[in-house]
Structure 1
């Protein structure tokens, strides 16, 4: 995954969440749970690391804003 840059965590309440899961469905289910409680910039695809099990997904969370549901 790409490095986290300063803008992603520029102030309190901003967070980067890296999800490691066995499969896409599990990773997206967790992202969906986060989106139900916080405003997020969702990921639209997972990534796989060669030789490593499972998938990874990164989303960005803003704890100050209500989700857009």
Structure 2
């Protein structure tokens, strides 16, 4: 997946790729991030064939509390 310039176009904007062994862990991390910062929320999960883990990508604005 490609990162769009608008998602990191200024200080305080981040893109976080999360990889964990199971879907529950990835969802728990995304939910926790929502409470700390303004985020894109719980996003779709995916797996990469031949690679371990479940993945998700979250966009966050760490300047704004969740």
* TM-score normalised by the chain length of structure 1: 0.88
Aligned to 2:40: 41
Q: Tell me the C-alpha RMSD between the 2 structures.
A: 1.0
Q: For the residues of structure 2 that align with 1:8 and 1:44, how far apart are their CA atoms?
A: 15
Q: C-alpha deviations, 1:5-55, integer Å up to 9, x for none? A: 111100000000000000110001011111111010024321000011111
Q: Which runs of 5+ in 1 are unaligned?
A: none
Alpha-carbon contact 2:13-2:60 (below 8 Å) kept:
yes
* TM-score normalised by the chain length of structure 2: 0.91
* Structure richer in strand, relative to its length: 2
Paired residues, what number?
66
